[in-house]
Chain A
Amino acid sequence: MIPPVVLNAEKGKAILDVAAAPGAKTTQIAQYVENEATIVANDVKYSRINILISNLQRCCAMAHVTMCDGRKFGRFGERFDYVLLDAPCSNVGMARKNYKYAKIWSLREVMALSRLQKQLILSAYDSLKKGGILVYSTCTLDPLEDEEVVDHLLANRDAEVEEIDAPVKGVEPITEFEGRKYSEEVRKCLRVHPQCNDTEGFFVARIRKPE
């Protein structure tokens, strides 16, 4: 998966996966750091935690599993070197895999998710140490859940968006939507549509907290 590749975590560091279940990205990170890092895998739902623990065990990935609202991590202060926020989203990018996501799509739901994602990204950023890296990703293509969330972070914190060097083709990120203009910095994000690489659609942003 692309987000752990973009995160590019190093051994011996503290890593947080805010919405970890079912654990595919967490296990990938653990594999990259060869279990030589403190990984915290969090999820809010108990039913998903069991699947997460089972997958971590099966893939021999060492992590501390926590069950709390991801919006609370900011309260702990600057604790993590790397944070992966694969935020809950409307899953429109997965519509090709499961058409259900396109059928149940609603603007009201997108607005609610966008509000949640904005709170999550601020909390995730606040839990980063200075010089730390935050990767924000979703599997949706709605600008309200992608560029707008990154723009919200840029407007409220001193975050810097970094260019992503990943071996995938993407399209130009959206800088204006429904009369709202986003920061030019969002151009550095990676927006992948299903037709680009014959994959699901997704969005990834790599954000650094200045020293």
Chain B
Amino acid sequence: MPGVKKIRGDVRELLQEQFGIECDYVFYEGGKGKIYATREIPEFLRKVVHSGIYVGRIERDGFRLSMDGAALLGKHAKKCVVDIGDEDVEKWMRGEDISISQSVDCRYVILRWRGFYVGCGKVVNGAVKNYVPKNRRIV
């Protein structure tokens, strides 16, 4: 598959350590350091132009899940998952940072609203920094 690079470190280990995620997906690095999750590509498929979902990227301080990465892997997470209310989810989807009342010992947290995983953000001074892509924000 074009554009596929070898992964820096073991993503599976990183996800296990950071979020307690155990899953059987195959991870690979695409362009611009993006990490994709996929399943084994059947051998007979020769012209695969793309495979899987962009799930995040490795930052200096840990693995930052994308919005789809949170939706896909959030259900497997055993730690660093924060439940938010209706007001907070509205702020989050508008692209604003939100403050969390519960204390968490995590650099990145997965946000969950009524059982839906709505993204992943960086915890800075008790607030979760927003990473919702601009084309997905509500206006």
Contacts and interface: CB of A to CB of B under 8 A. Distances in A.
Nearest to B54: A57
Interface string B70-89: 01100000000000000000
A111 interface: no
A113 interface: no
Which A-B residue pairs are the 7 nearest by beta carbons? A65-B50, A60-B68, A64-B51, A76-B44, A53-B50, A60-B71, A67-B49
A66 B45 contact: yes
Contacts of B47: 66-68
Contact of B37 (A14, A38, A58, A62): A62
Nearest to B72: A60
B42 A38 contact: yes
B24 to A, nearest CB: 10
A49 interface: yes
Contacts of A62: 37-39, 52-53, 72
A57 B53 contact: yes
A56 interface: yes
B51 A65 contact: yes
B124 interface: no
B45 A64 contact: yes
A64 B53 contact: no
B44 A79 contact: yes
Interface in A108-129: none
A94 interface: no
A40 interface: yes
Given A38-B42, A40-B42, 19 more contacts: A35-B72, A38-B40, A49-B49, A60-B72, A61-B53, A62-B53, A63-B52, A64-B39, A64-B41, A64-B42, A64-B50, A64-B51, A65-B48, A65-B49, A65-B50, A67-B49, A68-B47, A76-B44, A79-B44
15 contacts: A38-B39, A40-B45, A49-B50, A53-B49, A53-B50, A57-B54, A57-B68, A62-B39, A64-B41, A64-B50, A64-B52, A66-B45, A66-B48, A79-B42, A79-B44
Interface of B: 37-42, 44-45, 47-54, 68, 71-72
Q: Is the interface of A mostly helix, strand, loop or mixed?
A: mixed
A115 to B, nearest CB: 24
Contact of B53 (A14, A40, A60, A66): A60
Contacts of B52: 62-64
B48 A64 contact: yes
Interface string A52-92: 01001110111111111000000011010000000000000
A211 B42 CA distance: 23
A66 B47 CA distance: 6
A9 to B, nearest CB: 15
Contacts of B38: 62, 64
A68 B49 CA distance: 10
A16 to B, nearest CB: 10
A182 B39 CA distance: 42
Nearest to A14: B42
A66 B45 CA distance: 8
A53 B48 CA distance: 12
Contacts of B45: 40, 64, 66
Which of B37, B49, B71 has the most chain A CB atoms inside 10 A of its CB? B49
